[in-house]
Amino acid sequence: MLRTILFAAMTLAVLPAHAQPAAPAPGIAEAAPGSLDREPTEEEIAAFVADFEASLNRRTGVIPLPGARVTLNVPDGFFFLDAADANRVLVDLWGNPPDDTVGGMIFPKGASPFQESGWGVVLTYEDTGHVSDEDATSIDYDMLIDAMREATEQENPARVRQGYPAIDVIGWAAQPRYDAATHKLYWAKELAFAGEPEHTLNYDMRVLGRHGVLSLNFVADLEQLRAIEQASSAVLAIAEFDQGFRYADFNASTDSKADFGLAGLIGGGAAAAALAKNSGIIAAILMFLQKGWFLVVAAIAGIGALIRGLFNRKPKTQVRTEQRASTAFFDGPAAPESAPTESDPRPPSSV
């Protein structure tokens, strides 16, 4: 499988310039086979991996994200890739469409984007307005996941007509949990792509700020859920909004407010619409369709589609379009265990 992924990535390295957001690192183009008619040799694979790895600028310590008014404090157990390197991993290596909203990626120390068993976290900031957390203790998560499943099923015929795989929302892999003290939220859901034997993990975190939300999307297999849960507290602690831009700094008389609460933040547009219809939650959360947040959450499943497309000799532009469409419906919640109550606010556990 790794050889196939590398073959796809090495082939993408020689795409026309207009299809690439950034030039490949020195040596990558030379290592690429330049043709779909053969697999790369062991030497070509080794050269490609070595050059790509060496070109990544792994950073730790205090790192500002100016556009988001967020500061990262990356400990030794992780490393950070800036927006340029993150997009090279996401686009050139993993086959996702370009996304200029990506602010960077976080990986566990020692991890490589070439590892099939590894995981990474994509950081994006969305200027949503101030998101109220007043509904934190009243969300019916069983109803929310049912609404997401129903909305996804309704969208599937259109996906299939366009030549893309249907998606099933299997359920919560980890129920949404909100820490009211830090204004941080996380959840995970289990998804299935038609034709894919293995299910996909969609693990999301949100850090609420004065004017918007920082999104942390995990790119991982379902088998990595336990490892991610063990790292979740440490990952959540990495990002904090700067003084003056924190959630508590909100000024109701001057700052704009989002037209949705936590239910809309978790459920996304279509699912939140169904939930609003069934439970009376304000219909304005209908409009909450976020561009960058669902782009890469199914990258593992998307790699399969990309590789199949490459070996089936699809036009490269069509392959990239298929990758985008296959991941363009993942703006949603995760998996429940039990809904939080007033006496059990369910802050993220330090597993």
Q: How far apart are CA 3 and CA 59, in angstroms?
A: 28
Q: Averaged over 241-253, what is the pLDDT?
A: 97
Q: Are residues 274 and 238 in the same domain?
A: yes
Same domain? For 38 and 51 the reply is yes
Q: What is the mean pLDDT of residues 190-210?
A: 91
pLDDT at 165: 85
* Claim to verify: residue 35 and residue 132 sit in the same structural domain: no
Last residue of a domain, one of 12, 32, 55: 55
Pair (96, 41) in one structural domain: no
State whether 71 and 177 are in the same domain.
yes
Residue 169 DSSP class: E
- Report the alpha-carbon distance of residue 295 to residue 315 in Å, rounded: 21
| DSSP bridge pairs for 344 | 341
Q: What is the pLDDT of residue 255?
A: 97
pLDDT of residue 272: 53
Residue 340 within a domain: no
Q: 174, 172, 167: which is closest to 142 by C-alpha?
A: 172
| pLDDT above 90: percentage of residues in the chain | 46
* SS3 assignment, position 173: strand
Alpha-carbon distance values, 232 to 150, 173, 229, 287 (Å): 29, 14, 5, 29
Per-residue confidence (pLDDT) for residue 289, from 0 to 100 = 27
**How many domains does the chain fold into?**
2
Nearest Cα residue to 281 out of 134, 183, 127, 126:
134
**Considering 11, 30, 55, which residue would you say is the last residue of a domain?**
55
Establish if 344 belongs to a structural domain. Answer: no
Q: Which domain holds residue 2?
A: 1-55
Largest Cα separation within the chain, whole Å, is: 64
pLDDT of residue 45: 86
The contacts found for 194-197 with CB under 8 angstroms, 24 or more apart, are: 194/165, 194/166, 194/167, 194/168, 195/165, 196/165, 196/301, 196/304
Q: Evaluate whether residue 334 is within a structural domain.
A: no
Residue whose pair of structure tokens reads 């086979």 in the numeric block? 33
E strand or H helix at 234, and its extent? helix 225-238
Of 72, 86, 148, 65, nearest to 334 by C-alpha is 148
- Supply 329's token pair: 């419906």
In eight-state DSSP terms, residue 92 is I
Does the pLDDT value for residue 345 go beyond 50?
Answer: no
Strand order in the sheet with 200-208: 78-82, 102-108, 120-126, 213-221, 200-208, 184-193, 167-179
The reply to whether 199 and 229 lie within a common domain is yes
Do 34 and 87 lie in a common domain?
no
> Tokens 């037209």 sit at which residue?
259
DSSP 48: H
Poorest-confidence range of 33-37, 99-103, 182-186, 301-305?
301-305
Distance between first and last Cα of the chain: 31
Beta strands in 164-305 (DSSP E): 167-179, 184-193, 200-208, 213-221, 239-241
One-letter amino acid of 310: L
Tally Cβ neighbours within 10 Å of residue 127.
12
Q: What is the pLDDT of residue 274?
A: 54
Q: Which two tokens stand for residue 129?
A: 């307005």
77: nearest Cα among 209, 217, 227, 186: 227
Residues 34 and 161 in one domain: no
Query: What SS3 class is residue 181?
Result: coil
Give the residue among 10, 18, 52, 50 at the shortest CA–CA distance from 34. Answer: 10
Number of C-beta neighbours around residue 132 at 10 A: 17
Average pLDDT of the chain, as a whole number:
73
25-29, 51-55, 101-105, 136-140: least confident range: 25-29
As a whole number of angstroms, the distance between CA 125 and CA 233 comes to 20
295: which 2 tokens?
A: 């782009």
Q: Please say which residue of 21, 40, 55 terminates a domain.
A: 55
pLDDT in tens, 312-332: 323 323 322 333 333 333 333
Q: Which residue matches tokens 């859901």?
A: 189
Dihedral of CA atoms 269, 120, 228, 328 in degrees, nearest 10, equals 20
The answer as to whether 89 is a domain residue is yes
In the predicted model, is pLDDT for residue 82 greater than 70?
Answer: yes
Q: Verify that 70 and 165 share a domain, yes or no.
A: yes
